[in-house]
Each structure stands twice: as structure tokens, then as C-alpha cells.
């Protein structure tokens, strides 16, 4: 996989031996153990495979992590579907473009792998700048219902042109993430 570099930043696939580094980034970014537990579970979850797990380094210091896990659509559709969750940037490296670079690199890796759709439950002021748009109004239901006031936080991006108009249904995530507490934005 090619390495993305800008300034002193490198983004590359996380190695299995770097699990502690990945979990440190998650803990630091979110200030809790919850996302680290989720990531550890997803990286071992057969229903999430294959995953795309990328680490960003700034001057050789781990600065960010992003994880994309396999999902599926019900009713069954001949699509490759992924879910972006979570994306984390260590506080001292936030607002420096690392999150943006992680998203762009991850979407490129998924595009190159032939993925059709990528979903995210995230901030409505942030993810649309990367091409994500509200998924519910396009006929894509989240794994768990999203409260109406947060409906636009459930977003999709088509990596394959014109695919959104041809499919709809409920997104079924990996088993580890199939819990209601992960579906609150």
C-alpha cells in the first residue's frame, strides 16, 4: 500500500504488532477506554474482516488512527460496504489536517479495493466535506435507529458512481459494533 506523506506526516497501514499504539491513539483522542475496547474488538471480529486500519505519524510519533470495517446491506445486495468508525487524532495533533488526511487516504484505499459504499455516523459539519451525505433520505437505514434530531449524522459516500440510486436497505455492521450504545451521535 502506498504511503501518504505531507509535511512530516506519514499514513500507512497499521501493523498487527502496533495494536498498543493504535489503542493509545484511541484512548488519547477520546479520553476514555470505550473506543479502545471497540477497536480491539473490531480488529479481532471475523464479521468485520477485512478491515482497513491506518495510522498517521507526525515526526515518527503516532498522531491518528482510522478504522474501516466490512458491513453488509439487507436485503442482500451485490455490494462491497464498509463502515468508518472510529477516527481518532491525538489532542496535540488535532486541527492540523491529520483527520482529513486519514479519511482521504482510507477512502482511496477502499476505492482501489473496489468498495462501493462507505457509511459513517459522525459530525454533520465535518464529514460532508469528504463527500458524505445523509444516508437515511437515500433509503439506507442504520443498524440501530438514529433519533430524528440526529438523522443527518448517518451518512454515506458512494465510491462507485450511480450506485446509490440502485440500492437501499438496512446496513448491518460487524458483530462487535452491533450494540445500541455505538449508534448515538
How many domains is the chain built from? 1
Question: For residue 18, is it left (φ>0), alpha (ψ between -120 and 50) or beta?
Answer: alpha
pLDDT at site 181: 80
pLDDT at site 1: 40
H or E stretch at 72? strand 61-74
Residue 83: domain span: 4-183
Cβ within 8 Å of residue 137, ≥6 positions away: none
**Pairwise CA distance, residues 133 & 171, whole Å:** 15
CATH code of the domain in which 104 resides = 3.40.630.30
Q: Three cell numbers at 98?
A: 491529520
pLDDT at site 185: 58
**Pairwise CA distance, residues 119 & 157, whole Å:** 6
pLDDT one digit per residue (tens) for the chain, 185 residues: 444 444 689 999 999 999 999 999 999 999 999 999 999 999 999 999 999 999 999 999 999 999 999 999 999 889 999 999 999 999 999 999 999 999 999 999 999 999 999 999 999 999 999 999 999 999 999 999 888 899 999 999 999 988 888 999 999 999 999 887 877 75
Amino acid at each position: 500500500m502506498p504511503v501518504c506523506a505531507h509535511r512530516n506526516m506519514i499514513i500507512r497501514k497499521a501493523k498487527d504488532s502496533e495494536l498498543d499504539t493504535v489503542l493509545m491513539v484511541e484512548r488519547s483522542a477520546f479520553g476514555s477506554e470505550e473506543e479502545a475496547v471497540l477497536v480491539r474488538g473490531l480488529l479481532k471480529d471475523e464479521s468485520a474482516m477485512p478491515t482497513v486500519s491506518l495510522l498517521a505519524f507526525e515526526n515518527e510519533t503516532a498522531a491518528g488512527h482510522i478504522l474501516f470495517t466490512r458491513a453488509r446491506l439487507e436485503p442482500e445486495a451485490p455490494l462491497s460496504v464498509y463502515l468508518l468508525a472510529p477516527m481518532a487524532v491525538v489532542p496535540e495533533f488535532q486541527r492540523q489536517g491529520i483527520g482529513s488526511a486519514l479519511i482521504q487516504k482510507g477512502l482511496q484505499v477502499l476505492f482501489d479495493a473496489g468498495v462501493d459504499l462507505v457509511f459513517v455516523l459522525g459530525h454533520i459539519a465535518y464529514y460532508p466535506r469528504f463527500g458524505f451525505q445523509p444516508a437515511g433520505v437515500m433509503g439506507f437505514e442504520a443498524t440501530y435507529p438514529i433519533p430524528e434530531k440526529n438523522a443527518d449524522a448517518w451518512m454515506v459516500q458512494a465510491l462507485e458512481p450511480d450506485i446509490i440510486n440502485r440500492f437501499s436497505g438496512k446496513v448491518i455492521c460487524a458483530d462487535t459494533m452491533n450494540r445500541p450504545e455505538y449508534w448515538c451521535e
